[in-house]
Amino acid sequence: MKKVGFFQSVRLKLIVVYILLLLLGIQVIGAYFVSQLDNQLTSNFTSSIDNQLNSLTFSLQNAFNAERDEDSPTLEDEVQGLISDFIEETQSINPRKLQILNSNSNIIASVGNRDDSSDIGKKVTDYQLTNVLVIGEATEPKFKREEGSNDRVYVGTRPITDETGEEVLGLLHYEIYGDEISTQMQEISSIFAKGTVLAIVVTALLGILVARTITKPLTEMKRQAQIMATGDFSQKVNVRGNDEIGELGHAFNDMNDKLKLAQATTEGERRKLSSVLSNMSDGVIATDRLGAIILMNAPASKLIGQRFEDIQGQSLIDVLDLSDQIEEMEEVEETNSMIIDLSNDDDHLLLKANFSVVEDENNEMDGFITVISDVTEQQRVEQERREFVSNVSHELRTPLTTMRSYIEALNDGAWQDPEIAPRFLDVTQNETDRMIRLVNDLLQLTKMDHKETTLMKERVEFVSFYESIIERFEMNKDDKVNFVRSLTKKKMHVWIDKDKITQVLDNVISNAIKYSPEGGRITFEASSTRKQLRVSITDEGIGMPPDTVDKIFDRFYRVDKSRAREMGGTGLGLAIAREIIDAHHGKIWAESREGKGTTVYFTLPLMSQKRRDKS
């Protein structure tokens, strides 16, 4: 997770917001305070100036109305003295210009910061001043900015009237600097600015403390969330209060406990599902709604011969080669199951696929689950069952048809013929014996299939047992066949049912004798490995094609059916032999080359030394 920098943190944002709110409050209060203070100072200033100007106006009015003789000073000198004394006595007034005009608009006296002494005696043509002389009303005093310095100047004009107040004798024009207001406002603004800076510093420090108090629990929750993201739910957030943040901490800890329980439950279910999928004998393939493979267990991978990593994301239709049966995955909803043929030149493989639709919480199709199982053996058994029924029907029908024909002939009068009747009866008896052997073999196979045959096992030294069977056949064999023995002198003990193993050997040896040519040789061998006895019987007969060798142990299978039937076989002997050897936990098989003969092998487990000693 990316680490949050200080300049992006909530703490800084809280501090900044805290300071901005304070600045906003200070600025609003400051603006109102400065505005009101400026108005108050201006009002005080104008009131003070007006009072002093009233006094000066009264003195000037007396000077203009006084009677003068030769010894009295002139009006100009007296007026100049009055305004000069006024300036000296009122130190708080800083006049930019203070002028006295007579009724003829001539300047008769002037003082101020500007040196306007040269203007004395000049006639003023300013409209506002001449208008005051004419009308006799004072102009409204006002502030204006001095050009160049931008200083505030209080400007106004007052008329000087006679004692009756009806005749205008002159006027007083004044322009007075408002330095006092500006100075006071600057000092106050400076104090206010310093106070603002101090307030910001104090606020920032307090903001850091307050923000830390708020963000520390949030930081702990963030850290805990990062730990929870790794799957560790053992730690909890420290709750330091009962406010909203404290409640958030309690809620966070409750969420931690619930997530811990949910993860444990989910993990348990996942392990159960994984165990079920892994230990299923059937293959399971999950796809999304488009049919792309998203999950597959090991049995499915083994059945189709492809790894999940190699086919992940591929279409189920392509992987299982279903394009001949379905075109779109939506068709699967209408198909419960189907047989898939994945056979190739080397292996025969049939799979049965069962499809089911996965729905989401809105009952909409969200994907598919396909369960596949190997039905190759099942199909083979079913095919063998059908062939077995057909073969039994055929094997029984042939002798029955023959018997029926001969019996009908006997009924038609052939029984009276001394030459034909015995021959017909002999054929009928042979066919009856053949059917009895067939039925007995079928009963024996049925019992072995249903595990109804009990093996009477005993400890047998196999070499001597094997030789006794060979000697029995050797006494009754034709001279055309030669027996060759290649038996070990080592004693080998086996735990077998002697009658059943005798039946196996009789069948194999009889077949070897039947198919051996005149002068042929049959070789008998017996040897052992560390745990197994191995027996082989080899003839030099007609042999078999390579593709039929594994089939001779199937029921009713004959390489040469016409010849086998002539020799009286039922086609069940080797099938019974395989069942007997399997029941003894051994294995039987054959090797053959066409025209070179056939070798039949079988193995049996040897008894251990400990078991031989107990026996």
Domain membership of residue 200 (yes or no) is no
Query: What pLDDT score does 562 carry?
Result: 47
* 123 and 103 co-located in one domain: yes
* 515 and 385 co-located in one domain: no
* 476 and 436 co-located in one domain: no
**Residue 604 pLDDT class (50, 70, 90 cuts):** very high
Query: What pLDDT score does 605 carry?
Result: 92
Query: What pLDDT score does 460 carry?
Result: 92
- Domain CATH for 464: 3.30.565.10
Nearest to 443 by CA among 587, 576, 580, 553: 576
Query: What pLDDT score does 421 carry?
Result: 81
Domain membership of residue 462 (yes or no) is yes
Query: What pLDDT score does 586 carry?
Result: 92
395 pLDDT more than 70: no
Out of 341, 357, 374, a domain closes at 374
Out of 330, 351, 374, a domain closes at 374
| Among 36-50, 396-410, 471-485, the least confident range | 396-410
| Among 115-119, 266-270, 282-286, 448-452, the least confident range | 115-119
Nearest to 465 by CA among 497, 507, 513, 419: 497
* 159 and 93 co-located in one domain: yes
* 351 and 294 co-located in one domain: yes
Domain membership of residue 239 (yes or no) is no
**Residue 282 pLDDT class (50, 70, 90 cuts):** confident
Q: What mean pLDDT comes out for the span 224-237?
A: 78
Query: What pLDDT score does 333 carry?
Result: 66
Query: What pLDDT score does 462 carry?
Result: 92
* 356 and 426 co-located in one domain: no
pLDDT over 70, % of the chain:
87
- Domain CATH for 418: 1.10.287.130
Question: Can you read off the two tokens belonging to residue 10?
Answer: 């909530």
Domain membership of residue 220 (yes or no) is no
Nearest to 523 by CA among 535, 531, 506: 535
| Among 152-166, 425-439, 460-474, the least confident range | 425-439
Other CB atoms within 10 A of residue 188 CB: 16
Residues 400 and 111: their CA atoms lie apart, in Å, by 164
Strand partners, 154: 143, 176
Do 98 and 79 contact (CB within 8 A), yes or no? Answer: no
Do 534 and 554 contact (CB within 8 A), yes or no? Answer: no
Domain membership of residue 204 (yes or no) is no
484 pLDDT more than 50: yes
Domain membership of residue 464 (yes or no) is yes
pLDDT over 90, % of the chain:
7
Q: What mean pLDDT comes out for the span 162-174?
A: 82
* 598 and 493 co-located in one domain: yes
- Parallel, antiparallel, or unpaired for β 350-359 and 337-341? antiparallel
Q: What mean pLDDT comes out for the span 513-530?
A: 87
**Residue 309 pLDDT class (50, 70, 90 cuts):** confident
Question: Can you read off the two tokens belonging to residue 172?
Answer: 């007083």
Residues 357 and 288: their CA atoms lie apart, in Å, by 10
Query: What pLDDT score does 615 carry?
Result: 53
Angle at 15 between CA 12 and CA 16, to 5 degrees: 85
Cα torsion 184, 187, 191, 192 to 10°: value is: 60
* 29 and 148 co-located in one domain: yes
Domain membership of residue 332 (yes or no) is yes
Cα torsion 220, 226, 228, 230 to 10°: value is: -150
Nearest to 338 by CA among 317, 367, 364, 359: 317
Angle at 138 between CA 137 and CA 140, to 5 degrees: 125
Query: What pLDDT score does 1 carry?
Result: 45
3 pLDDT more than 70: no
238 pLDDT more than 80: no
Query: What pLDDT score does 199 carry?
Result: 81
Out of 428, 449, 470, a domain closes at 449
Instruction: List, for residues 558-583, the tens digit of each pLDDT value.
Output: 655 544 444 445 667 788 888 888 88
DSSP state at residue 149: T
Instruction: List, for residues 109-138, the tens digit of each pLDDT value.
Output: 888 776 555 677 788 878 778 788 777 777
Query: What pLDDT score does 536 carry?
Result: 93
* 19 and 70 co-located in one domain: yes
Q: What mean pLDDT comes out for the span 334-347?
A: 76
88 pLDDT more than 70: yes
Which residues, 6 or more positions from 380, have their beta carbon under 8 angstroms from its beta carbon?
A: none
- Domain CATH for 86: 3.30.450.20
525 pLDDT more than 90: yes
Residues 240 and 246: their CA atoms lie apart, in Å, by 6
48 pLDDT more than 90: no
524 pLDDT more than 90: yes
Query: What pLDDT score does 112 carry?
Result: 76
* 567 and 584 co-located in one domain: yes
* 340 and 357 co-located in one domain: yes
pLDDT, averaged across the chain: 79
292 versus 388: the higher-pLDDT residue is 292
* 392 and 308 co-located in one domain: no
Domain membership of residue 266 (yes or no) is no
414 pLDDT more than 70: yes
Question: Can you read off the two tokens belonging to residue 118?
Answer: 């040269």
Query: What pLDDT score does 17 carry?
Result: 79
User: Structurally, how many domains does the chain consist of?
Assistant: 4
User: What's the domain range around 442?
Assistant: 379-449
Q: What mean pLDDT comes out for the span 499-518?
A: 87
Dihedral of CA 327/328/334/339: which sign? positive
Q: What mean pLDDT comes out for the span 274-281?
A: 72
